[in-house]
Chains A and B, each alone.
Chain A
Amino acid sequence: MSKEHDKGMSLIVKVITRLTVGLILLFGIYIVLHGHVSPGGGFAGGVIIALSFVHLMLAYGKDVALKKLPKTAMSFFESMGAILFLSIALLGFTGGYFFLNFISKGEPFRLFSAGTIPLSNIAISLKVGAGLFAIFVVLVLLKFEWEKKE
Chain B
Amino acid sequence: MTATSNILPLFVGISLAGAFLTSIVGKKLKWLPDLMGSLTTLILLGLSLITVRIVATQGILVYSVGGWKLPIGIALVLDGLTVFMLVTVNLMAFFIAIYSINYMEKFTSKWKFYTLFLLMVAGMNGVVITGDMFNLFVFLEIASVASYALVAFGTERHELEAAFKYTVMSIVGSLFVLLGIVFLYSYTSTLNMADMANILAQKSASNITIMVSVLFIMGFGLKAALVPFHAWLPDAHPSAPAPISAMLSGVLIKSLGVYTLCRVFYNVIGINSSLSLILMVLGTLSMVIGVFLAIGQWDFKRLLAYHSISQIGYVILGIGLGTPLGMIGGLFHLFNHSVFKSLLFLNSGAVEYATGTRDLQKMGGLMTKMPITGTTSLVASMSIAGIPPFNGFWSKLIIIIACVQANRLGYAFWAVLASILTLASFMKVMKYAFFGKLREKWNKVEEVPVFMKLSMVILALICVVGGVLLIYNINEVFLKPASDVLLEGTKYADIVFKGIQ
* Beta-carbon contact of B21 and A98 below 8 Å: no
Nearest-Cβ distance from residue B70 to partner chain A, whole angstroms: 13
A127 to B16, CA, bound (A): 14
Interface size bracket, A side: 10 to 19
Say yes or no: A100-B20 contact (C-beta < 8 A), given A86-B13, A90-B13: no
A92 to B74, CA, bound (A): 15
Counting CB contacts under 8 A, is B23 at the interface?
yes
Specify the main secondary structure of chain A where it touches its partner: helix
**A86, A92, A93: which contacts B16 (Cβ < 8 A)?**
A86
Say yes or no: A76-B13 contact (C-beta < 8 A), given A95-B67, A98-B66, A101-B66: no
A97 to B6, CA, bound (A): 7
Counting CB contacts under 8 A, is A69 at the interface?
no
The stretch that binds B, out of A4-12, A16-24, A77-85, A106-114, is A77-85
Say yes or no: A98-B20 contact (C-beta < 8 A), given A86-B13, A89-B13, A92-B66: no
**A79, A92, A93, A95: which contacts B24 (Cβ < 8 A)?**
A79
Q: State the interface size on chain B (CB cutoff 8 A).
A: 16
**A79, A83, A90, A96: which contacts B67 (Cβ < 8 A)?**
A96
* Beta-carbon contact of A86 and B17 below 8 Å: yes
**A76, A79, A83, A100: which contacts B66 (Cβ < 8 A)?**
A100
A135 to B93, CA, bound (A): 29
Counting CB contacts under 8 A, is B499 at the interface?
no
**B17, B23, B67: which contacts A100 (Cβ < 8 A)?**
B67
* Beta-carbon contact of A98 and B6 below 8 Å: yes
Say yes or no: A98-B16 contact (C-beta < 8 A), given A75-B23, A83-B21: no
**For B21, what are the chain A residues with a Cβ–Cβ distance below 8 Å?**
79, 83
A86 to B19, CA, bound (A): 11
Counting CB contacts under 8 A, is B65 at the interface?
yes
- What 0/1 pattern do residues 1 to 24 of B give for CB contact below 8 A with A? 000001011000100110011011
**For B8, what are the chain A residues with a Cβ–Cβ distance below 8 Å?**
98
* Beta-carbon contact of B23 and A98 below 8 Å: no
Nearest-Cβ distance from residue A105 to partner chain B, whole angstroms: 13
**For B134, what are the chain A residues with a Cβ–Cβ distance below 8 Å?**
none
**For A98, what are the chain B residues with a Cβ–Cβ distance below 8 Å?**
6, 8-9, 13, 63, 65-66
Chain B residue nearest to A78 (CB atoms) is B23
Counting CB contacts under 8 A, is A99 at the interface?
yes
* Beta-carbon contact of A97 and B67 below 8 Å: yes
Nearest-Cβ distance from residue B129 to partner chain A, whole angstroms: 12
* Beta-carbon contact of A79 and B13 below 8 Å: no
A27 to B186, CA, bound (A): 35
**For A89, what are the chain B residues with a Cβ–Cβ distance below 8 Å?**
9, 13
Counting CB contacts under 8 A, is B64 at the interface?
yes
**For A100, what are the chain B residues with a Cβ–Cβ distance below 8 Å?**
66-67
**For A82, what are the chain B residues with a Cβ–Cβ distance below 8 Å?**
16, 20
Query: Told that A79-B24, A97-B65 touch, could you supply 14 new A-B pairs with CB distance under 8 A?
Result: A75-B23, A75-B27, A76-B24, A83-B17, A83-B20, A83-B21, A86-B13, A90-B13, A98-B6, A98-B9, A98-B65, A99-B9, A101-B66, A101-B67
Some 16 contacts from A to B, beta carbons below 8 A apart, are A76-B24, A79-B23, A82-B20, A83-B20, A83-B21, A86-B17, A89-B9, A89-B13, A95-B67, A97-B65, A97-B66, A97-B67, A98-B6, A99-B9, A100-B66, A100-B67
Binding site for A on B (CB under 8 A): 6, 8-9, 13, 16-17, 20-21, 23-24, 27, 63-67
